[in-house]
Amino acid sequence: SQTIHQWPATLVQPVGSPLSLECTVEGTSNPNLYWYRQAAGRGLQLLFYSVGIGQISSEVPQNLSASRPQDRQFILSSKKLLLSDSGFYLCAWTYGAGVAYEQYFGPGTRLTVT
């Protein structure tokens, strides 16, 4: 069966510090991978998605970047955090192959920027 992991679970970082969140998927190959953010009182916003290694699409101009160094690893980064980067970050995966399959989500990372 497939499993999706995210870490860390919670993170408190000062403004201006760097960020690295990691997501890995087990039990499948060549998945589509996604990063979403859920800010307080707002819906889920798609930040980045990837259909393959090194292929990243950005949905929203922002202070964040994403990378996919391995097939089942997706990393969300920032060089300098802003207060507005606080939120609940969720990674998700789905089968690729160009068909809209069900999306499965990880447990999330709660980021607080102080």
Partner 1 sequence: KQEVTQIPAALSVPEGENLVLNCSFTDSAIYNLQWFRQDPGKGLTSLLLIQSSQREQTSGRLNASLDKSSGRSTLYIAASQPGDSATYLCAVAPYTGGGNKLTFGTGTQLKVEL
Please report, as ranges, the residues that interact with partner 1 according to CB under 8 A: 6, 32, 34, 42-44, 46, 49, 51, 57, 59, 88, 90, 92, 94, 98-108, 110
Residue closer to partner 1 (CB basis): 14 or 43: 43
Of the two residues 15 and 101, which places its CB atom closer to partner 1 in the complex? 101
- Give me the least distance between CB of 36 and partner 1, in Å please: 8
The answer for residues whose C-beta is within 8 angstroms of residue 111's C-beta and 6 or more apart is: 10, 11, 12, 13, 19, 21, 85, 86, 87, 88, 89
Shortest Cβ 108–partner 1 spacing (Å): 5
Distances in Å between the alpha carbon of 69 and those of 14, 56, 80, 101?
27, 11, 21, 23
For partner 1, give the closer residue by CB, 14 or 98: 98
* DSSP three-state, residue 34: strand
